[in-house]
Chain A
């Protein structure tokens, strides 16, 4: 590790270090399809991607599939991202990436919607709800997210798009290929089911912050 210590000249360079430039360099590398840059950007963004995609899918394998598909789209289209228009490049990049991920989730849902539509809670929902995994009398963020994931795909997708992403019913209907009424109905039922799940999951009287 001694060999890895920075030299005095490199110490002088440290004040020049700038996160924006680093991201810009990585973006430039990705535009050249440089694997090293892609990998570093992947490591930088994979947690963020996971956070989004995790809510849309219950199956871990499918989550990874969507994340990888999102990254592939991201790298393919990164030339469309103009970092010069943003002061905070990493935030802008995340916002742009989020749109790609959400669209990928929607595409995935639509692709599999023929057999994913359902009105009832899944068996796993009942199982986990009865299991009372934590045994706590309070809900954590994780339990709420897991509760959302236990919703049926149709309800979960509409709930995520409306509540989390902030889309309107018109936009949801357009994206999912359903009517506005169906979107509203799904949202209502999603809330109702979520309420049931949370009620069953733990007899919580108070919501607390996670540790």
Chain B
């Protein structure tokens, strides 16, 4: 042995390491299992466990909360802003035309602007729309003399898309506007009483000015008090014969004006944005049998919607989903071998082996048909509820069965590539909000719940899915018209 060289020692050692199999009988699964239980608590667990699924619960919840917060915070800011400026609208106008933007597309009744003015009857601080308030609301109503008495320009610088749309449309009509965003042809008649503490108000033969930025031409009958307040007496009439109207103001004023009931002149611009198409994606969580799941599926697809009325729309699309789910095995039985295309199992098993758990995965094309109702609308954000039926077209199913045979834990895998169609097999419910992010473009967040109406898949599972869809949508202008 003393002649053993280093190389020989190495070779013998390698051979021994490769070939020698030490006794492993002292190794114990139970001790490892204890260690695993401490470091990796066993899954799956029965029943609903908030901790397990919280990402899927609080994810949509956060999205909804963010939307609702945006809605309320904006309202609060607006109300505070109004209070600071001591602004009171004496006659809250009804909102028959509130959602003209949505109604069958976007319809803007600019004629209502003029009639809205007739609704703005103000009195001093308590029941008046003060001139100062108008100014603080960034309202710049300019009635500019256009060179001849009787012509009035109503200038709008709206923030709302409705007016923006109107503006862009009017630009295309070719009417001159010298940079104005909305050109309202025709006469504008406004009646009302405006009382202001702002001494900037002045009247004149040719017009009036609000906060130093408004002028009116026409047959305005204006009374003003230059000592403490300026009062524009009744009737306050702004007329324009055939001149161009220009209105400048922010959403708050414009919305008030746009809500007027009694249009004096029926002139409106109609932008038909009834149709919208979108790209949707989001996580999908599927449950089949009440067992918590930590695998997140995916949804990705295209959506199409069409507004039937101002608030009601029909929606469809095509969505590709990967769904993963666990199920208790005792609810199910092994399928007939005809369904089994692959089996991974090295030992024979005795039927019917009690199945402990099933781990399934499916690739699904989903065809939803839903009816959406917009129940609230604030500025550029719509809040909606959506309900309908979805059809599932399952393209591929993979199941791993976990069971015991002769007290040995075993598993085998089955894949079924046969397509299975389930027409209107799922009830689809969702709520969410849609925020406009640009001309015709919008972002939508939509937490959903899909309830099974029938058993699906080769194991006849009731697949309940929930998650949320995020969508980017575009509503093209289908037509423009004036009414």
Query: Do A and B truly interact?
Result: yes
**Is there an interface contact between B13 and A18, defined as CB atoms closer than 8 Å?**
no
Residues of B within 8 A of A36 (CB): 356, 402, 404, 409-411
Q: Which label, helix, strand, loop or mixed, suits the secondary structure of the A interface?
A: helix
Binary interface encoding of chain B residues 271-296 relative to chain A, with 1 for a CB under 8 A from any of its CBs, else 0: 00000000000000000000000100
Closest chain-A Cβ to B313's Cβ sits at a distance in Å of 41
Interface presence of A39 (CB below 8 A)? yes
**Is there an interface contact between A40 and B1, defined as CB atoms closer than 8 Å?**
no
Binding site for A on B (CB under 8 A): 1-2, 4, 6, 9-10, 12-17, 19-24, 26-29, 31-33, 35-36, 39-44, 294, 326, 336-337, 340-346, 348-351, 356-357, 359, 400, 402, 404-406, 408-413
Name the contact of B27 in the complex, choosing from A9, A34, A67 (C-beta under 8 A). Answer: A67
Query: Which partner residue on chain B sits nearest A149 by CB separation?
Result: B22
Residues of B within 8 A of A47 (CB): 21, 24
**Is there an interface contact between A3 and B350, defined as CB atoms closer than 8 Å?**
yes
When A64-B31, A72-B36 are in contact, do A163 and B345 touch as well, CB less than 8 Å? no
A39→B43 CA distance, assembly (Å): 14
Residues of B within 8 A of A141 (CB): 15-16, 19-20
Binding site for B on A (CB under 8 A): 3-7, 9-10, 12-14, 16-26, 28-29, 32-40, 42-43, 46-47, 50-51, 54-55, 60, 64, 67-68, 71-72, 75-76, 139, 141-142, 144-145, 148, 159, 163-164, 191, 194-195, 198-199, 202-204, 207, 210
Name the contact of A21 in the complex, choosing from B20, B24, B326, B342 (C-beta under 8 A). Answer: B342
A187→B17 CA distance, assembly (Å): 17
**Is there an interface contact between B409 and A35, defined as CB atoms closer than 8 Å?**
yes
A165→B41 CA distance, assembly (Å): 34
What 10 additional pairs, Cβ within 8 angstroms, besides A16-B342, A64-B26? A10-B349, A17-B343, A19-B344, A28-B413, A34-B43, A36-B409, A46-B27, A75-B40, A163-B13, A199-B2
Closest chain-A Cβ to B21's Cβ sits at a distance in Å of 6
A/B interface sample: 5 pairs, CB < 8 A? A13-B340, A40-B410, A141-B15, A163-B10, A204-B1
**Is there an interface contact between A199 and B1, defined as CB atoms closer than 8 Å?**
yes
Closest chain-B Cβ to A4's Cβ sits at a distance in Å of 4
**Is there an interface contact between B409 and A39, defined as CB atoms closer than 8 Å?**
yes
Query: Which partner residue on chain B sits nearest A16 by CB separation?
Result: B343
Residues of A within 8 A of B345 (CB): 17, 21-22, 25
Closest chain-A Cβ to B479's Cβ sits at a distance in Å of 52
